[in-house]
Amino acid sequence: MGEPDDEVQSWFDQLSYKLKRELAATIKEEADGLAGAIQRAIVEEDLVLTGELRDSVKVRRKRNELELEVTAGGPATTREITKGSGVEFDYALAPEFGTVHQAAQPYFYSTARRLLPDIQQTIEDKVEDVISRN
């Protein structure tokens, strides 16, 4: 038996173009909404020093049309810990988890956990709508 994601993708592939587009658009809207909420949390937590952390929040497509991920950090927020050390650190992690010098000021996972039930419900409602019209 295939992976659950493969089964969902197979079901999705059998839908009409219009229904696929509707479902994919809903998923994209929810991912964009989550990314925006994370960016607002960064601002509300007063974590904006240069804007790089806020601007690093992205929605990325994964291996198929139904898989999107929201990320923060990466190359835009990664620096050497000490100049010349050759050891890099993604400073997007520092406020999320804290350091020995700074208490945690979570902005990413706390926002995602808070919004996830509504995101899931919206997507489930759209899937039911699409199924009923298929």
> d(Cα 81, Cα 76) in Å, to the nearest integer?
14
Three-class DSSP category at 94: helix
Q: How confident is the model at residue 2 (pLDDT cuts 50, 70, 90)?
A: very low
Structure confidence by residue, pLDDT tens digits, 59-92: 999 877 678 999 999 999 999 988 899 999 999 9
Count of CB atoms within 10 A of residue 10's CB?
10
> d(Cα 41, Cα 22) in Å, to the nearest integer?
29
Structure confidence by residue, pLDDT tens digits, 91-108: 999 999 999 998 999 999
The three-point CA angle 85-94-103 to 5° equals: 125
Using a cut of 0.75, tell me whether the model's pTM lies above it: yes
Q: How confident is the model at residue 1 (pLDDT cuts 50, 70, 90)?
A: very low
Structure confidence by residue, pLDDT tens digits, 7-39: 777 777 777 888 888 888 999 999 999 999 999
Q: Which residues of 89-113 are buried (b: 16+ CB within 10 A; e: fewer)?
A: ebbbebbbeeeeeeeebebbeebbe
φ, ψ for residue 72, nearest 5 deg: -140, 150
